[in-house]
């Protein structure tokens, strides 16, 4: 279950390679500067809200069917985008349809894996499965660069349309929930207080704190991910796609490491640590990216920013299971995951507008750094129960 879920996420992680597509679109499609992030931002927003519906389908109809629907929709969306250079067609294809498909596929990948393992391994398992999504640019970035050189954006998106249809639908056949709503190893899911109905989330103080921290932490990371190729070009030239690759490595590593660490020291302390580190990275990125003289520092920062961002994608599913149980995990995490999409939509759009008006990334990094300090303050106010060792 964990391997199939990880493989599905490896395909759906095409979202994280947007900055490479964006560079080609900026050059060839004639869009305005303010429009360049919109398909990506819409995809983030749609993806996150569809997670609620996808989570409900996963809980009710099982992960196999849900993931297959996701694979088909991603293929259709990329197919539509591949046939056009028009802004609205890309918003529809890449933004809306692919966003819906990614939401269905992603929502079906993690829950079955968590249900097959004991509670003491929640962080580790969540980190491994979602690491697939973060690792995707490791192969998609160089592959996309090669496809763009050979046949342009149309060839690249057509190829991924067919490839992801086969991969996602094929791996979906392996997904299955255990017969009982409890993990292997004899651990109980928890008492009734940890089997929280979705409507009860809105009466939880911690839910609102988690939502705001997730909004800021994910939005700041996605802001960089959406533009990392362009940020690195001043220092790295045609090798800028390598910054996308190392960010992906950091992204995946952060998910696994944060999951393991949070199982040992607790979710709250881990979240507070990565949020403060991310604020420091954003502040350091201002002189590094603007000077254009430190390619190795760009690589280091891309790795660190990816690591801290990726940590959130392991911590917040684990928070959801700890606080609200497994029974309604799909829907409950889908509701919390809307913070990821709204953050990606808002801050990616803000970043593109700031870049268009100023011509630099300075104001974007400063804004992100300040917001992350606010997020750290909010995280310190969480009153979550201690994770069992």
Please write the tens of the pLDDT for every residue from 246-289: 877 888 888 889 988 988 888 899 999 999 999 999 998 888 76
More reliable by pLDDT, 14 or 369:
369
Query: Which range is least confidently modeled, 56-70, 190-204, 326-340?
Result: 190-204
For residues 302-319, average pLDDT: 89
DSSP-assigned letters across all residues of 227-257: THHHHHHHHHGGGTHHHHHHHHHHHHHHHHH
Residue in 116, 107, 41 with CA at minimum distance from that of residue 346:
41
Query: Which range is least confidently modeled, 195-199, 234-238, 247-251, 299-303?
Result: 234-238
Q: Is the pLDDT of residue 386 over 50?
A: no
pLDDT at 379: 93
Q: Which domains does the chain have, with CATH numbers?
A: 2-379 (1.20.1250.20)
Residue in 354, 313, 374, 90 with CA at minimum distance from that of residue 223:
354
- DSSP structure class, residue 388: P
Residues 270, 286: Cα–Cα separation, whole Å: 25
Provide the strand spans (E) within the chain.
none
Residues 200, 327: Cα–Cα separation, whole Å: 13
Question: What pLDDT band is residue 389 in, cutting at 50, 70 and 90?
Answer: very low
Q: Whole-prediction pTM value?
A: 0.76
Tokens of 375: 């997020």
Residues 196, 5: Cα–Cα separation, whole Å: 25
Q: Exposure pattern of 246-284 as b/e (b: 16+ CB <10 Å)? A: bbbbbbbbbbbbbbbbbbeebbbebbbbbbbbbbebbbb
Cβ atoms of 310 and 225 within 8 Å: the answer is: no
Q: Is the pLDDT of residue 84 over 80?
A: yes
Backbone angles phi, psi at 117, to 5 degrees: -125, 155
């Amino acid at each position: 279950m964990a391997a199939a879920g990880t493989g599905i996420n490896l395909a759906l992680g095409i979202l994280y390679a947007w900055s490479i597509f964006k560079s080609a679109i900026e050059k060839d499609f004639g869009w305005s500067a303010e429009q360049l992030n919109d398909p990506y931002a819409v995809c983030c927003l749609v993806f996150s809200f569809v997670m609620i519906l996808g989570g409900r389908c996963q809980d009710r109809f099982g992960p196999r069917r849900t993931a297959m629907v996701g694979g088909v929709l991603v293929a259709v969306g990329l197919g539509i985008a591949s046939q056009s250079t028009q802004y609205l067609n890309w918003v529809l294809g890449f933004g809306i349809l692919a966003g819906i498909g990614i939401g269905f596929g992603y929502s079906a990948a993690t829950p079955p894996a968590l249900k097959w393992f004991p509670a003491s391994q929640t962080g580790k398992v969540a980190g491994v499965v979602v690491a697939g999504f973060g690792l995707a640019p490791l192969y998609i970035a160089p592959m996309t660069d090669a496809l763009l050189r050979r046949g342009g954006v149309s060839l690249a998106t057509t190829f991924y349309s067919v490839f992801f249809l086969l991969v996602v639908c094929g791996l979906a056949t392996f997904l299955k929930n255990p017969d009982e709503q409890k993990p292997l190893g004899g651990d109980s899911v928890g008492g009734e207080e940890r089997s929280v109905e979705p409507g009860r989330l809105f009466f939880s103080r911690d839910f609102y704190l988690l939502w705001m921290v997730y909004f800021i932490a994910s939005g700041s990371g996605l802001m960089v991910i959406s533009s990392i190729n362009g940020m690195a070009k001043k220092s790295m030239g045609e090798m800028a796609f390598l910054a996308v690759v190392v960010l992906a490595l950091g992204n995946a590593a952060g998910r696994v490491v944060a999951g393991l660490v949070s199982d040992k020291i607790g979710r709250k302390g881990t979240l507070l640590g990565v949020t403060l580190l991310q604020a420091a990275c954003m502040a350091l990125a201002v002189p590094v990216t603007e000077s254009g003289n430190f390619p190795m520092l760009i690589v280091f920062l891309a790795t660190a920013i990816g690591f801290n961002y990726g940590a959130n994608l392991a911590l917040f599913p684990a928070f959801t299971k700890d606080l609200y149980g497994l029974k309604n995990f799909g829907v409950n995490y889908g509701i919390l995951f809307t913070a990821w999409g709204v953050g990606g939509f808002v801050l990616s759009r803000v970043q593109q507008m700031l870049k268009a008006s100023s011509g630099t990334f300075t104001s974007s990094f400063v804004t992100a750094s300040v917001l992350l300090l606010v997020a750290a303050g909010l995280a310190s106010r969480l009153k979550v129960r201690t994770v069992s060792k």
